Structure 1
Amino acid sequence: MTEHVLPGDPPINLVLRRSARARRYSLRVSRLDGRVTLTLPAHAPESKALDFAHEKAGWIRQRLAERPGEVIVAHGTVLPVFGQPLRVVPGTRSGLAPEDGQIAVSRRAKSVSATVCGLLKARARDALAAASDGYAQKLGRSYTRITLRDTRSRWGSCSSDGALMFSWRLILAPPEVLDYVAAHEVAHLAEMNHGARFWATVERLMPDYRTHRHWLRHNGEQLHRYRFPD
């Protein structure tokens, strides 16, 4: 991969990636981090790839402008926790208070964002464990463990030994969406593929899964706009 800068207002950082499978030039603007990647055939001239990027500069800037703005979590930030807006406020002790519409952060906490992140991860683990337990019991299968990560490329996974992994950011989605991802990964305990039998298993666990899958496909990038600096 090589990097270039397309001049203009604003300048565009461009990554060129060669692919043996590519048959034409293709541009991708990541809605997560704004990374602009131009994929080109393995033996295509770099000069022609840059000409193509210059021709598409207006389209690239439009896509970059459409990206959701980042939100640095601090006092006053409103976060969508399990489908409910909660505001980060100072308090005597740290904790989630959905009944008050708040996320309280102790005045003794060293970092507001790190404290909020820890609270969200703990709530996500509880919710994902409960959902996974319920679907695993319904399926008649068991998993070995659950881990949480801050993944960008996937919302969950299931390994061959029955270990489930989830993005803790699912706690920022509506509860039915979190449940769908749990059902999806638990279904892999029976079908380690994405074939017809797998989707039939997902539907058996959650008959209306398509609605929640659609929400995640079209709104999932919004969950990554929240930043939690230490």
Structure 2
Amino acid sequence: MGWPEQLPLFPDTPASTSALQPAPQPRAEHAVATACPPALPHNARWREVRAAQQTIGYVLQRSRRKSIGLTINDDGLQVTAPNWVTLGQIDATVVEKAPWILGKLRIRQARQQHLATADTLWQNGGTIPYLGRRIVLKLDGMQKTPVFQGAPFAPEHGNVLSLPLPADADRNRVRDSVHSWLQQQALAWFGQRLQHFLDASQLTIRRWRLSSAATRWGSCSSDGNIMLNWRLIHFEHDIIDYVIAHEIAHLREMNHSKDFWREVGLILPGFERSRNALRQHDPGSLPLL
């Protein structure tokens, strides 16, 4: 089933950039570190290619997809390519997209240096943001399922999330396990808040689902379908409520006119603080808050 006429959360941003305004990019065109990550995914390899600006390293994975895909995550540049595409063609794509790649890598590097989270996030004792608080990861191979030692949707700083993984688990396994748990929490919490605002507004939707979009926090279609980015679960309650209120307002106003923003204010008075706070973050960069 399609999702026609989806509206991004912040529509004034050019299509070639994130739907949110990311952190300012450094002015100096200094070289960006692109070191091989400590662990590579299964069947992945590390490659380096010389672009006009500098040498760019990236993790390459082959897949059944029909085109070359470029993404920036915790490990830097990830390239996914069909099996029939040659290494030369892949390298040429990286060189062609070098300005975009290096711009994204500079933003990522600045955030990592500021928060010092890159090396400690996905391991025993690492911390992650959950509902506006920093919780601690504990790897426990004796467990069968993840266990959160705190109030499920009212965490405190330092609450522990125990994962059923050995203490020396590969960082990719830790990351995947954490993401899976966060998505389960997002599904439950977003569903509760969505129903709360729908009841208060006397509105109904066709359905809703989680998204993994790298450039938008939410969307609403003309036929009443809502998508909410699961990474919102990193933020405090007020910000999640703002995104939900924003999408519900589109059920009455499929635009971003003054009437639309008036509708958002009726659903969630004082939403402006949360809107302004969310503009500082890019979904594709989280959880480097």
Report the TM-score, using the length of structure 2 for normalisation. Answer: 0.55
Equivalent residue in structure 1 for 2:163, among 86, 105, 109? 105
Checking the alignment, whether the CA contact within 8 Å between 2:211 and 2:227 is kept in structure 1 is yes
Q: Any gaps of 5 or more consecutive residues in structure 2?
A: 1-49, 58-70, 78-98, 152-157
Structure 1 residue ranges (4+ consecutive) displaced by more than 6 angstroms after TM superposition: 30-35
- 1:143-165: CA deviation from partner (whole Å, max 9, x where unpaired): 12121121111100011111110
Checking the alignment, whether the CA contact within 8 Å between 2:218 and 2:228 is kept in structure 1 is yes
- Indicate yes or no: 2:109 matched with 1:90: no
Report the TM-score, using the length of structure 1 for normalisation. Answer: 0.68
Query: Radius of gyration: which is bigger?
Result: 1
- Indicate yes or no: 2:285 matched with 1:224: yes
Aligned to 2:130: 81
Identity %: 26
C-alpha distance in structure 1 between counterparts of 2:271 and 2:104, whole Å:
35
Say which structure, 1 or 2, has more relative contact order (CA 8 Å, 6+ apart): 2
For residues 120-131 of structure 1, the aligned pairs below 5 Å read 120-131=182-193
RMSD: 3.5
More helix by share: 1
Aligned to 1:119: 181
C-alpha distance in structure 1 between counterparts of 2:165 and 2:286, whole Å:
25
C-alpha distance in structure 2 between counterparts of 1:204 and 1:225, whole Å:
30
Q: How far is 1:32 from its partner?
A: 7.6
Number of aligned positions between the proteins: 185
Checking the alignment, whether the CA contact within 8 Å between 1:73 and 1:112 is kept in structure 2 is yes
Checking the alignment, whether the CA contact within 8 Å between 1:96 and 1:119 is kept in structure 2 is no
Q: How far is 1:31 from its partner?
A: 9.4
Checking the alignment, whether the CA contact within 8 Å between 1:131 and 1:183 is kept in structure 2 is no
More strand by share: 1
Equivalent residue in structure 1 for 2:110, among 63, 67, 86? 67
Equivalent residue in structure 1 for 2:259, among 193, 197, 200? 197
- Indicate yes or no: 2:198 matched with 1:136: yes
Structure 1's 11 and 212: CA in aligned 2 closer, same or farther, altered over 3 A?
same
Structure 1's 104 and 206: CA in aligned 2 closer, same or farther, altered over 3 A?
same
Structure 1's 158 and 223: CA in aligned 2 closer, same or farther, altered over 3 A?
same
